[in-house]
Structure formats: C-alpha cells, structure tokens
Amino acid sequence: MNLIPMKSVLLVGACFLFLSCSKDKKETSKSVISNSNVVRFLWTAQSQETPQINVINQFGEPVVAAQILIGSEADVPFSGNLIQTDQSGIAAIPAEWTAPDHVTVDATGYVRITLLNQQPGDLIIRLSPKHLATKPEIRGEVTQLPVVNSDKLIDFGLVMPALNRSDLLNFDINQVLSPYSDVLTVAGQESRVPTNISLPTQKESYIFSVTISKPVYSMQVATFGPKRFFAARGQFVFKDVIGEIRAGKPFYELINYFSILGGSIRDTTIVNPVTNLNIPANELDFKNSFTVTTPNIQSDELLLVLAASQVAGSLIPTDIKKTTGGQTLVLSSLGGKPAFILNVVKRESEFMATSSGADRMSVSILPYTVGIKQEMLPLVKNPSISTSGGYRITLPSPPTTAGIFPIATSISISDLTEATSGASKFFVARPRWEVLGLGWNSQVQLPKWPLRGTASKMRVGINFIGSNKNSNPSLDDSLIEAATHVSHASTDF
C-alpha cells in the first residue's frame, strides 16, 4: 500500500517503496513486459480544493467501492465516518474530521490497511493485493552455466525475486532458498534441495563417476502481475558439499560453501498458474570484492550477511555468508555499482525453524563504505494480542541501541495455511491487515471492524523500524530514505 500525502509516495507495512534509479544501457534488464508496466505507479495527484482520499491498486488504477473508516468504529468519533470510493476511486473527506485519527481502508481482493493518527487532509492510498490461496508457479532452467565435467566443481543457478529495499528490511530467507524442495540423488543417497535451484547435468568423481542433474528450477509467487527475477550463477567444490550431504546436513547449512559469481535479471508478467522462464546467468560478473567486519551479537545468535549491488533499479545479492559477530569477511560485489550490506541476526535455535515466533530477527541495511562500523537493534520478545472487542496488540519492550533512533512501528495480521514439501510441514502467511504509524508504540487498538473469512490459525507480526540518522520523517519518502534497521517478532493465535 502507498500513502501519498500531497505529492509524496510511501509503501506501508514494513515495506518501503524502492524508488527507481536511472539506468544506463548496460544495466537494462531483458524484459518481456514494457518498463511502463513496472513503474507506472509512480504518478502523483494534484491537491484538490475539496479534501479527498484516493484509493488505487498496485498499478495506479482506481479501486472502486473501497470502504474507508476514519476513527475507531462506525460513527465514532463522528457520524458518517465510514465512506466509500466512487468510480474514480475517490471519496470526499467529511468536514467533521478535524483531529488526528486512524484511517482504515478495506476493499475486496486487497489487504486491509490502517494508518495511525493521521491528520485530516488529502491522501492517496495504494492497496496491496491479497496473496492467492493457490500460488502461481514460475519454472524453467538457468542456462549459460560454465559446466565442465570432472573439474571438481558443481555449477548451479539460484533463482529468486529481484529484491528492493522493503524486501531486504523484511528479509525472508525463503526468498533466497525456497522452503519447498526437490529430491536430488547423489552417489546413491537422496537429499532434498530447494526447488529454486537449477543444477544442469554434470559429472564428477566421488570414488566412482557421479552424475548430478536437476536442471529445472521452480518457485511460487504470491500474486499475478509484473515480476522481476534474478538468476545467480554459482559454484561449490563437489567433494566438500557431497560429504556434508551424505552426513545428512540440510542444504541451507551449506551456504558458506557457495560462491556466487554473477547472474542475470529478467522481467515477466505472471498471468497463468504456470509460467515458463529460462534465464541465462552470464550477463553480470561479480569480479570485485570488499571487506567488512560483522557487528557484535549474542553468544546464542547467528548472523547472515548478504552483499547486494544496485542494478536496473533493483538490489541483487552478490554474496551471502552465515557467520558470527566480530568476524572479517571478504564479500563479492559488482564493480561500478553501489554496494549495500544486509545483516540478519537470528537466534541459533530459531534459524530455519517453523514454530510460533521463530521468524524473530533483527535486520540492518546500509550502503557500504570503507571501514563501516555496524550496530544492530537487539532481538525483541513476542507481542501479544487480544481479540475481545477488536484486535488489541501489546508490543514488547522496544529495542535500544546507541545511535539507532526510533522512527516507525508496523504491524501485520495474517492468515496461516499449512503447506507440505516432502516430510516437511510449515505455515505460509497470507497478510490480511497491515498497520503503520510513526514512533515506537507500546500498544495499538485496531478499529472494531471484523475481518471476513479469517483462517483458524493466524499470526500477528510487529516491526520496530529505526534509523541511524536522528531525523523526524513523515509517512512519505523521508521514511523510506531514513529506515536502516528493523527488529521483528511475531505470535501465532
């Protein structure tokens, strides 16, 4: 969802709009959709003489018959506070709205959004589509990998959504390594590998000749529409990894054996249940590197460090390592492009776990500079939620770190549906209600407006959003630019 006070643009939740950058000819992605389909939502509206709320979808098109609640429930704090958009997606603001209050927008097929303590005035609010119950799939092969039989190296492709700033601040390792898996048989032993990995047919020696082959990748996406994907090109030493696989180690524990050498970006439009997309992985080469010292963390925590470079308006991973605090790392990067460092702190016991609250993490994203010193917000306890008389969320004690300043709080309420892959079972979250407000809140009472058709199991997630700059951003572009840190926790109910 985007909120545009006057001429500003904001993507809410903990999802911040990544503003497109100018592209030179060399970094234009190979698209099967026009660029206008990707960036058409960046339009703004002129201020009107009569204050109004304009509700649009992810393409900048009007959302008709969206309901808008100003306040805590129907007719509170004033009569007629529940209004509806017309055929242009516009609703006139009641003259009785004279003081700051919550603004909630609900429309069929979209995630409900609440903006806390909004001043009366013109708003343009962008709604995010609900996740589909049956997710579309994209599949194909990663091509142009430099396979050489018997070179002691395994070449692989790794397909993931191209990331933006909001994706990184809301980092989900399932975007990098799919929770769904395929069976790979190596040296007579079966191992489950993420479905978004492509392993072209290749032969190596392990006492005897061994053939590795899983050329087709697949991954699920939450919604139809324009999507951008990045296919990474990588290698790992065969004997090192095969020994770990035969010892029963899960694939995600082998991250440090991977070398990411380059990749390619592709755009496509998802309109069918299955989309076929082959992606060559030889168009970008990560020949540069930089050195960083990881931030200090607690003894029961681990750290994922991801290097990313800005290419064609997206941030693409150029390296990823699993490590601890206070370590010196050399990370690959793309020469001549801005580099960023993403740090993700997890409790070791919660890494890749699927239990309630195991998505707890602290995240930072900073542009790389020589000698950069990094600090993290501490992990926080789980929130609690009361469902009597509407949703009331009590947040844990806020995280505190010197030099990191509070700027906003976001909350999401999601349906949980169980999914299986092989013997593994896990829950998939489908957002239903997103909330954003300035500052760090201790408790939030949502409007008394029941969600329709909720799942039997749900999740409330909270984000404390911070910045390494002591500024006072508004719910506009300044919040996007300022956000550098997030501490996240959740509770299932």
Q: Where are the domains of the chain?
A: 25-126, 132-279, 286-376, 384-492
Per-residue confidence (pLDDT) for residue 476, from 0 to 100: 67
Sign of the alpha-carbon torsion through 135, 139, 145, 149: positive
pLDDT single digits (tens) 68-92 = 999 999 999 999 999 999 999 999 9
- Residue 27 pLDDT > 60: no
Max Cα distance, the chain (Å): 81
Tokens of 243: 């020994």
Is residue 484 packed enough to be buried (19+ CB in 10 Å), middle (13-18) or exposed (0-12)? buried
25-126 belongs to CATH 2.60.40.10 = no
1.20.950, 3.20.20, 2.60.40, 3.30.2450: CATH of 286-376: 2.60.40
Within this chain, domains 25-126 and 286-376 share the same CATH topology: yes
d(CA 394, CA 405): 21
243 CB-near residues (< 8 Å, 6+ apart): none
Which of 122, 130, 81, 117 minimizes the C-alpha distance to 435?
A: 117
User: Is 103 within 8 Å of 142 (Cβ atoms)?
Assistant: no
pTM exceeding the 0.95 threshold for the entire prediction: no
d(CA 247, CA 243): 6
What SS3 state is found at 468? coil
Residue with tokens 């429309």: 107
Per-residue confidence (pLDDT) for residue 187, from 0 to 100: 74
Mean pLDDT, residues 160-167: 85
pLDDT single digits (tens) 420-447 = 887 778 899 999 999 999 999 999 999 9
- Residue 9 pLDDT > 50: no
Question: Which phi and psi angles does 246 have, rounded to 5°?
Answer: -65, -25
The single-letter DSSP state of residue 173 is: G
- Residue 24 pLDDT > 80: no
d(CA 200, CA 188): 18
What SS3 state is found at 479? helix
User: How sure is the predictor about 29, in pLDDT bands with cuts at 50, 70 and 90?
Assistant: very low
d(CA 169, CA 428): 19
Per-residue confidence (pLDDT) for residue 456, from 0 to 100: 95
162 CB-near residues (< 8 Å, 6+ apart): 228, 229, 230, 265, 314, 315, 316
Per-residue confidence (pLDDT) for residue 48, from 0 to 100: 54
